[in-house]
A and B are shown apart, each in its own frame.
Chain A
Amino acid sequence: MSNENMMTRRGLFAKIGILLNGVVAAALAVPIGRFLLSSVTRGRADGYLSWVSLGPVSQFPEGETRLATFRNPYVMPTDGKTADTACWVRRVDADQFQVFAVNCAHLGCPVRWFPQSGLFMCPCHGGAYYRDGSRASGPPERGLFEYPYKVTNGAVVIQAGELPTPGSTAAADKRQPPCA
């Protein structure tokens, strides 16, 4: 160690050792990163959305709005009841429906339907929506989220699988609130 600037054999080995660890760390970072981001990347690859049945059409009387529940199509063994999801089904006429998420378009609290006044009301921050899901008042900036639906073999089937949030593309219907 007489000359500080001279590379010794041991010093070189130490540097090679550090380099080797760097390479291993970089190699391990790939699977670790993929594991951590799996909940995001899976959504991109084959998606979480599938078609789920809400039951026969006859359960939903014309002109009324009823609560329906379904089991989320993507389930983990530890989900328990949390994979059960509720939605509001409005049967407009014989073959026209609207299926709303219970989650308020403001911050996701569960909205309740009041048939007498024809309003959905949110218990958290006071959002209210008309029977067709459009915004009536309060902090939400848009109407209720709607699930795409179809009627197959006499059953109402909706495309679901993701928590509808203000920013999610899955829940983004193009509904604009009417001029109030």
Chain B
Amino acid sequence: MRLIKTIGEWFDLRLQLAQPIRDVAEHPVPRNTASWLYVFGSAALTVFCLQVVTGVLLALVYVPSAAEAWSSLQALNYQVTLGWFIRALHGWGSNFMVAIVLVHMVQVFLFGAYKFPRELTWIIGVFLLLMTLGMAFTGQVLRFDQDAYWGLGIGASIASRVPVLGPAVVKLMLGGPIIAGATLSRFFALHVFVIPGLLIGFVALHLLMVVKLGINEWPMPGRVVRRATYLGEYHALTRRDGAPFVPYAIWKDIIFAACVLVAVAGCALVFGPFGPTGEPDPTIIQTVPKPDYFFLWLYALLSLLPPALETPALLIGPVIAIAALVLLPFLSGEGEKSWRRRPIAVLTVMLIAVTLGTFTRLAQYAPWSPQMSAWSGEPVPQQFLHGATALERQGALVFQAKQCRNCHSLDEKGGQRGPTLDSVAVRLTQDQLIRQVIQGGGNMPAYGKNLSPAETTALVAFLQTLHPAGQAPARDASRDIVLGEPGPPNATATR
């Protein structure tokens, strides 16, 4: 023991760090902040450290070359001992990091921690969120598979919409005219050097301010923040009801951090690494690219926005969102901190959470995309062909062969791009069906040029059989009079 003490003293005489570390460790924090709700910041830092370590380990094998990246990932998955596990740790770590950063942000927002004097801590936190998302996106690119390749294409298409500068921004982003070797190299530089470097610097500032300004006290309804008096009140609080951070509060951080690491490792062990999916060969076009989990909401949004709104929303939306987050502490730097007295804050969080959750859920089954193989893979269900005439059966064949099924479902099988046709005959008359098939409209392509008159007749004959047993198909009553055609028996009586 004496030897350890001697060595310690030898170092401290030169480093002189013992006293500052002791000061930080023992700085008084309000007792009620030693709470399980105050552990998310340190948990995010823990996962970030895990990402640094596993990232360095992956870099021992990974090759940032468009020609070899994909095969080096295969080597990691199948050849290198436990390479799959390190990849899985890094992949799941990234998911956990985004999630924990978001939870941390919601917690400090609801606890009013962004108010005076912690405005800058919040603003740097906003940048840390953006960098975390930047790491998630660039990391997805380094997993250089088909999703990464076409994801870059989507990124380039969005960037190209910037007025005037669009084409230059695309070439700057891609490092050349196409998505290729230079693109992967620059995303590697961003993911491994640029963004982590900034992250480490900003995390250090973020932590420094937490220590210097003190942790946000547990908000009490009615205890209002005023610039003139807050600092004095906070110091009085820590003097009156404070406790040293170590060990009074830190034990919860440590235990939660361990739980998070166990959860990451558990997910990595059970679910394994993410991909890579198919080889990033642009001539393989049989692919359905999808972004990673945390960008699924964006994927949904891009499908559901009206086309004319898309470019403005893509270019202006992020600017407004980031500006709102950065300006928040200046717009409400004083006042109530407690969520019990801030109903709009609570509603805002709930609205955003429900919106993002709904979009994410929708994106998981993408009802807006045609199902490319439904026409050849999902036969017309039997019940729709019972007692059908030859013409109607021919119509069912046309229905399949012309890929109608890719967008229209029957008996819940097939695409959901267009309406389900189980009972289309109830909604549309024969004339309306013909018009819709030939001219399209309402987001349906026109099939006039791709259907012969005989095919159209057969197809419409089949569509007219699609109505529930007890429900008559729609008909145009005026036809009975104009053309003298007989209507249903009960209708003829009134003529």
Residues of A within 8 A of B (CB): 36-37, 39-40, 43, 48, 67, 69, 72, 74-86, 102-103, 106-112, 114, 116-119, 121-126, 128, 130-131, 136-141, 161-163, 165-170, 180
Chain A min CB distance to B194 (Å): 12
Whether A140 contacts B307 by the Cβ 8 Å rule is yes
B157 close to A161 (CB less than 8 A): no
Q: Which residues of A contact B157 (CB under 8 A)?
A: 103, 106-108, 165-166
Report the Cα distance A76→B64, complex, angstroms: 14
Question: Which B residues lie at the A interface, using CB under 8 A?
Answer: 65-68, 149-150, 153-154, 156-162, 166-168, 170-172, 174-185, 279-283, 285-289, 299, 302-303, 305, 307-308, 310, 368-370, 372, 375, 401-404, 406-407, 417, 440-441, 443-447, 449-450
Which chain A residues lie closer than 8 Å to B283 at the CB level?
Answer: 67, 69, 81, 84-86
Could you tell me the distance in whole angstroms from the C-beta of B173 to the nearest C-beta in chain A? 9
**CA separation between A78 and B65, bound complex, in Å?**
6
Q: Known contacts A78-B67, A82-B282, A126-B303; is A136 also within 8 Å of B172 by CB?
A: no
How far, in angstroms, from A81 to B438 measured CA to CA in the complex? 42
Question: Complex: how many Å from CA A126 to CA B375?
Answer: 16
Closest chain B residue to A136, Cβ basis? B445
A169 to chain B, nearest CB (A): 6
**B282–A138 CB distance below 8 A:** no
Q: Give the chain A neighbours of B180 by CB distance below 8 A.
A: 72, 75-76, 78-79, 82-83
Give every chain A residue within 8 A of B280 (Cβ-Cβ).
Answer: 81-82
Among the listed B153, B177, B370, which residue makes an inter-chain contact with A128, where contact means beta carbons less than 8 Å apart? Answer: B370
| Given known A86-B283, A107-B154, A163-B156, contact A139–B65 (CB-CB < 8 A) | no
Whether A110 and B285, one on each chain, are in contact in the complex, defined by CB atoms closer than 8 angstroms, is yes
Give Cα distance in the complex from A137 to B368, angstroms. Answer: 11
Cα distance, A161 to B447, chains bound together (Å): 34
Q: Contact at B440–A80, with CB atoms within 8 Å?
A: no
Q: Decide if A123 touches B370 in the complex (CB within 8 Å).
A: yes
Closest to A68 in B: B283
With CB as the reference atom, state the residue of chain B lying closest to A88. Answer: B285
Taking a contact as CB atoms closer than 8 A, the residue among B158, B167, B406, B441 that contacts A107 in the complex is B158
Q: Which residues of B contact A79 (CB under 8 A)?
A: 66-67, 180-181
CA distance A76 to B305 in the complex (A): 37
Does the CB pair B402–A81 fall under 8 Å?
no
Chain B contacts for A72, CB-based, 8 A:
177-178, 180
22 A-B residue contacts at CB 8 Å?
Answer: A39-B174, A67-B283, A86-B283, A103-B153, A107-B153, A107-B302, A108-B157, A110-B150, A114-B406, A121-B372, A124-B150, A126-B303, A130-B445, A136-B445, A137-B440, A138-B368, A139-B303, A139-B305, A139-B310, A165-B156, A165-B159, A170-B167
Q: Is B170's CB under 8 angstroms from A117's CB?
A: no
A121–B444 alpha-carbon span in the complex (Å) = 12
Tell me which residues across on chain A come within 8 A of B303, comparing CB atoms: 124-126, 139
Residue numbers in A under 8 Å from B167 (CB-CB): 43, 165, 167-170
| A117 lies within 8 A of B450 (CB) | yes
List, in ascending order, chain B residues with CB within 8 A of A75's CB. 180
Measured between alpha carbons, how far is A145 from B445 in the docked complex, in Å? 19
In the complex, what's the smallest C-beta–C-beta distance from B131 to chain A, in angstroms?
20
Say how far A145's CB is from chain B's closest CB, in angstroms. Answer: 11
When distances are taken between beta carbons in the complex, the residues of chain A under 8 Å from B279 are 81
